[in-house]
Chains A and B, each alone.
Chain A
């Protein structure tokens, strides 16, 4: 691992990208029109995520019903074949619980929950393949699925991971890079500079924070456009069908 060059003097990364280049981002919405109210599929490089949204619907238990707002429940399942080495992951793992809680709390704020009192919005996420930026891809997938389900939101929540190699920020890390350098994941609402989600797990110098955040925010704005394009494309297809009838 250590023999690999994360960032070559020529300015190229392991997979041939420059420091400020995103991986291939592909998304689809309405992938499971029969089984769910809203669904999406997101690929960021080799990280692949499927997300399905049910609701707003009646909660299965009374305790989940809040008389003032909707409850959001995120179920995160990571397929055991999602990594190179097959590994079974339990949902009660602390890391999984943390991710789940983070996602739930993030979307509680960006979805207009007060419009759907006493209901449950259930979000089921399946991670098919992992290659870095897991939290980011999951967040993007949930955003798209919520939009597909027609649930009222303030704006897109777009999320990206950024790393720091020496003094250079590297955008959208893949799995190999993520293992070696510290990663910051941020989620931004719409085209603002407001952070809805923030997670950094390894050391970075305080003075580099500003430059990392700068590039990360620019990237989230770009991602928002990419997601927006996809949603609009889908919308146009539907609209054209309407016109024909």
Chain B
């Protein structure tokens, strides 16, 4: 079921669901997601964003409602996967991280890394980027990130994204969610037919991609002595492939799925 809902519209859900105690009446629990708001006094669920209304049954007796909308400004929500840029250190204890240009900075504690202790701290420089999870986002406190999987205490894929990959921004946040969460999306699948790549998608509109072996700065310096030409050729090719991949991903954002093949062809035509 998909329907465009605007703020002020009535939600196309069962009458009983908006009553005071929906569990008893309709026999199901309701979880509301982004774009919906439950008014504290009237207990009504009202839409607050424009977008496509989605309704899903997660389990028996449990309904999920949310509005799939598209925006370009990222507002942190707990459990979001994001890519942040380190912009400074606050009080020697935590990093100041920027999630989007011209947005409020967020905090990444130095303790929120695997195996971090007071003595064994991560050493990140300004300008480096990390893949992180929003651990705490609320109105009253400053947003916090963490680079650790809280259930296992391991890195869980979070942490520093090294310089061998390229970082780029996409304007639409909806698109990054699509890439990250939609299992039916073929965009990345199609790309994998052209090149080997490693990707990190932050739903704050930042994507890190490394094609082939990526940039290997250290390797280049080591091998400069005995065979520099082959190495530089390799990295030159990887750069081209990466740029083509970036072009492809950026352009897919504005196109319908049937054009993806065409765009892929276009982007990779020089390689």
A interacts with B: yes
A211 interfacial contact with B, CB 8 Å: no
Chain A residues with CB below 8 A from B88, complex form: 67
Interface size on A, residues (CB 8 A): 2
Closest to A68 in B: B126
Distance between Cα atoms of A97 and B88 in the complex (Å): 31
Chain B residues with CB below 8 A from A67, complex form: 88, 126
Distance between Cα atoms of A68 and B126 in the complex (Å): 10
Interface of chain A, main secondary structure? loop
Distance between Cα atoms of A67 and B86 in the complex (Å): 13
Q: Mark A65-94, 1 if CB is under 8 A from B, else 0.
A: 001100000000000000000000000000
Distance between Cα atoms of A68 and B88 in the complex (Å): 11
Distance of A67 from chain B, by nearest CB (Å) = 7
Q: Mark B126-152, 1 if CB is under 8 A from A, else 0.
A: 100000000000000000000000000
Q: Mark B144-188, 1 if CB is under 8 A from A, else 0.
A: 000000000000000000000000000000000000000000000
Distance of B88 from chain A, by nearest CB (Å) = 7
B76-128 with Cβ < 8 A to chain A: 88, 126
Q: Mark A10-37, 1 if CB is under 8 A from B, else 0.
A: 0000000000000000000000000000
3 A-B pairs whose Cβ atoms sit less than 8 Å apart in the complex: A67-B88, A67-B126, A68-B126
- Which A-B residue pairs are the 3 nearest by beta carbons? A67-B88, A67-B126, A68-B126
Distance of B128 from chain A, by nearest CB (Å) = 14
Distance between Cα atoms of A67 and B96 in the complex (Å): 13
Chain B residues with CB below 8 A from A68, complex form: 126
Distance of B86 from chain A, by nearest CB (Å) = 12
Chain A residues with CB below 8 A from B126, complex form: 67-68
Distance of B92 from chain A, by nearest CB (Å) = 13
Distance between Cα atoms of A67 and B126 in the complex (Å): 10
Distance of A165 from chain B, by nearest CB (Å) = 50
Distance between Cα atoms of A177 and B170 in the complex (Å): 55
Closest to B87 in A: A67
Closest to B88 in A: A67
Distance between Cα atoms of A198 and B205 in the complex (Å): 41
Q: Mark A167-186, 1 if CB is under 8 A from B, else 0.
A: 00000000000000000000
